[in-house]
A and B are shown apart, each in its own frame.
Chain A
């Protein structure tokens, strides 16, 4: 038992560190981050330049096949690069979904000519991809989506609405899951396309989140034409194609979402406690710090177990699926406790007054969304129960019924 890299892994890590040190700055505080300092436009230029540098230096598409311009390396190297990149303020965000989920789907299902056209530009940061699955009436139950595509000559014509699309406003391409046959059962009438996001009839509107910000979009499709040749995986096979995309989601989402036990404990040393000392001296608070420590370390160590499996060339165990349940709930709990510990003062979000520039308040808002994004707590628990523990699926009332005959409610 040890935590050491193999010689090959150590050499790769060293190369990654050298590359990162030459191209991006180490992580600094909230306010000094690249995203806060730069305008949206400047940030996007910086992101594209960074992605280009990654491609030129052999750090893009680390696990992709060489013939697709990737590095053909084992998944452990991708994890190692992610570990090192996480120490820096690297503008990698705009590419996470495209390179993590969309382009791998294209690689799996597109023709050679299409791959030739699209994979390189995505890898070099010249084109950004987004993923269009969720709809207002199809969230956890994605296969209940209603956006439909109707065949018209060599094209399909798409009408409907997608929602919660990250980066739709700056994306060049997207993969979109649509219903091509409503007479078939729910999962069987779907097809996947990749589509030019600049196509006529696509309208992107930002969603006004409960946090006040806008990180996601609604995307409206009105008579949008897409060539039949851009269908991925064949007509009616959209659900199996989507599963390939979604398999990557749990790996693409994750990481440290906000203040953890370290941050709140440091901060508590400056806060008044109930017993005349600091908050960090209060017994009830300290008991919670211990719980937070155990969960944060436990999750970190579970990832080490995943890395161990990857490093040995094995498929990682199911322990990797617990991540978001832990991190999202922990973030909500920590920030909740921080706000309550401040008593009435905890309600202030004004950065001029709020301790740590209001990071606990902001993160408390964000945590509520994190428990939903990329698979709700409930869906993730269903996945653990069904795929890991082998419990039976829920009773399905929609299995052998034509989609058009299903009740849809609100």
Chain B
């Protein structure tokens, strides 16, 4: 199987996974009681009307009286025609809600991902190259600090120091500033810093341990004996095999943080991003928006895993496509 066919197969599998997850989400939501229906019944009762009748009307209005398979088909058709419904929580189409929140999430998550992916492995490698020196201990301490301190708490502390005491950065996130502006950089520096410190710790530690294995490996010794410069030895002979297992950790960890930590950081720094939209839509039981945001996270997840698999094969040519 060539690379092209492999990627095609993986994409098809990713689509199937996405379909299954979205179907499961639909099923779970369909089975949970709808608070809006309950609310309508309560209101009717307050007005002295028949709550049962109101409940039926509410169900009818939302299409909940249709058989579940009909609702499911409507839903799937809507997904493929990009008609993802109306968000009752935000009074706007779901696609618009997702795009507008993604716009803000991307502004901090892109620099965060780039910095994590570049700094994490390099610091790990540096630590490994200077094992048990004060540099190693400092890097390890930094990694453990970032890994251990809760992002939520760390964010509040930084905001207190740099936002309120020193007034170097604004406390309230301003959505009206240009993306590529100093003002935007100022208001995003803390969330990016918090997320980067939270995510490079694990990557750095894995990178350090993995690269330690190769530091004195025969092929590295051979390369050095042949006169390869230390930098080249680290970058091509040690870092490359290190990256194979690391890529798994990295994708998993980044995805986890993307869904979890980004919400907390968005809450602390009042960024109207995707994490908050997903969380709030679940709380408000805004079914259309929950499904829409779930789809986005599923999409990010499967794409991440796809990239991870492809990276595997590029980094380690011994891994064939046939068995996968």
- Co-complex (A, B): no
